[in-house]
Amino acid sequence: MSARGPVAATLWLLCGLFLPHATADDNRAPAGPPDVQDILFLGPTRPVLLRLHVTIDGEPFRELWQRRFDETCSLEDRDADGTLSLAEAQSVVHEMKGTLSDDGPGNLSELMPEGSIDRAALLDYVERNYPPLVLHPRAVVGQGAALAVFPLLDVDRDNRLDAGELAAAKDRLLARDFDDNRVLTPGELIIDPQAIADASDPNVQEKDLADDQSPVLLWSGPGDAARCARRLLAQYDRNGDGKLSTADPLEITLPAAVAGACDADGDGDFTGAELEQLGDWRPDLELHFALGTAEVRRSRTRRTPRNPDGFRARKKLLGGYELDLGEANIDFDRNNRDPQSDLVEFRNYDRDNNEYLDKQEASGQGIGAAAFKAVDVDGDDKVFRGELTTYMTRQNEAAATRLCLIVKDKGQDMFDLLEIETDGLLSQRELTVARTLLDTHDLDADGVLTLREVPQLLEVELVRGVEESAGPAMSYRFSVDNSQAQSSGPLWYRKMDRNNDGDLSPFEFVGPRSTFDRIDADGDGLVDRSEAEAADSLRAD
């Protein structure tokens, strides 16, 4: 930002992310290059630092936000003395917020014991509460199973799945077959009870995550070491011993420069105190986003070089990226919506068609009391079309200077690895062959499947404006679709296959167990179509 000056920017570049003198819980933007926002992705075992370079209409996004704040303050500070009254400061805050609701931080008047506030203090307040870029983490409810399958199979809690644990997948997971139909839906594999309730509601596809659950952190200022240490410890200390292991069992992998700066005793493990000594953490990948009317500068190839760790970023045609981070894949989209083009339909608010809004009517339409007061310029307790249109136009202009980073966590998708038929269900046969995952996903051939070998999936969207885009969310079927019944095989086999998974289990078979065992030629505990047809042929002979 221009208010920070070149000296602060130079210090930022020299000192990197972590400087000991800043407060640990400061959520503001870094005092550095005005187009930069660093984010830390917390992968299964490796945190990855991504540096975003963002411009709006060719201008660094922080400079655009700062100029909007300066213009708004100048408009309210009519005597140009550098201070604002409570009413003037509230007007600035409401406009910079970019919404008509009253949600937000505490009473601004608490910062104004003398009845006024100077621009620097107001800037600090607005920047902390309505910054140029905010993070909105979410979990895709249908993917709650992805987060649960690995720990359900990891009996000894060593963060590894050996052949025995994978071979026991059928018995372990079918214990959660709550409707006794011998197939598993994602809803049955979700551990969190609230997520189970959400998954049963067809209208709920996503849920918000608390900051301490987010797989992505905003690096919002130098001196973030203490906050970073707490989050890393909470994320990766899986055995609860108060430190992060880099050996057996592996809990975290850090870049060599970062690890060397904080491993004081050289034992390869990191305590909370050691993690607070985090040093210069340079970005693993740098991504460029151009929003507004400016075009993204095109290169001859859409593929960017790998970094030393093999991470790759492939540019997408619409300005986003496909990121391959080894143990994780991120689909990073750019949403170039322009809030300034959002038109105000006064009749949508004026439900009684009397050509104005009173306080009760406005409240029913989501316009808070403080916002109503800001819109009601003449103070007659009525908001007319012109007042609302003028105010919302300015709010849309302010919203166009803010960005929202929406992160959707789909988890480490063990469900997807186990699923062969891609029907949103896990059948007994799919669980029976779970052992074969070692043949395809045991990348280091050590005989176990680790967290690093199960890719985590994220969708990230950089949106212009304070309102999130309502993009489609991935969802799974949570019940068996009877329209997908088997269309081939003997009629008795099709009728007995009540869960339509293509196999008969002893639970479904109507007849003596001895007959079932005779038909089950390969002795795998399931009768498939070919075995049913073979039994029919023998009976016919």
Which residue do the tokens 């909370």 mark?
Answer: 272
Closest CA to 45 of 455, 458, 451, 453: 451
Cα-to-chain-centroid distance, residue 293:
27
| Identity of the amino acid at 389 | T
Predicted confidence at residue 390, as pLDDT, reads: 79
484-540 architecture in CATH?
A: Orthogonal Bundle (1.10)
- pTM (2 d.p.): 0.69
Which pLDDT score is estimated for 308?
Answer: 67
Tokens of 429: 């046969």
Cβ pair 38, 51 in contact under 8 A: yes
Closest among 9, 15, 7 to 35, alpha carbons compared: 9
In one-letter notation, the amino acid at residue 330 is I
Query: Residue 244 in contact with residue 259, Cβ under 8 Å?
Result: no
Q: What are phi and psi of 321, to 5 degrees?
A: -145, 150
Contact 135, 407 (CB under 8 A): yes
Question: Given this model, what pLDDT does residue 482 score?
Answer: 42
407 contacts: CB under 8 Å, gap ≥ 6: 135, 136, 137, 138, 214, 215, 216, 458, 459, 460
Residue 326 structure tokens:
């080894």
53 C-beta neighbours (distance < 10 Å), count: 15
Strands 403-412 and 133-140: parallel
Q: Are strands 47-56 and 285-291 parallel, antiparallel or unpaired?
A: parallel
Residues of the chain predicted below pLDDT 70 = 1-32, 99-107, 139-148, 187, 190-211, 220-223, 279, 294-308, 342-344, 422, 467-487, 498-499, 510-511, 539-541
Q: State the Cα–Cα distance between residues 367 and 360, nearest whole angstrom.
A: 9
Beta-bridged to residue 312, according to DSSP, are 324
The length of the chain, given as a count of residues: 541
Q: Give residue limits of the domains in the chain.
A: 5-137+213-282, 144-208+405-464, 342-399, 484-540
For residue 321, the SS3 value is strand
Tell me if 342-399 shares its fold with 484-540.
Answer: yes
- Identify the CA nearest to 29 among candidates 58, 59, 8: 8
Q: What is the pLDDT of residue 54?
A: 94
Local structure of 199: helix, strand or coil = helix
The rounded distance, in Å, linking the Cα atoms of 490 and 534 is: 10
Q: Is 104 left (phi over 0), alpha (psi -120 to 50) or beta?
A: left
Task: Tell me which residue has tokens 């307790």.
Answer: 381
Residues 6+ apart with CB under 8 A from 357: 349, 350, 365, 367, 372, 382, 383, 388
Q: Checking phi first, is residue 255 left (phi over 0); if not, alpha (psi -120 to 50) or beta?
A: beta
pLDDT of residue 422: 65
Query: Cβ neighbours of residue 398 under 8 Å, at least 6 residues apart?
Result: 68, 72, 95, 96, 97, 98
| Fold category of 342-399 in CATH | Recoverin; domain 1 (1.10.238)
| Single-letter code of the amino acid located at 310 | G
pLDDT tens digit sequence for 44-79: 888 999 999 999 999 999 999 999 999 989 988 877
Residue type, 18: F
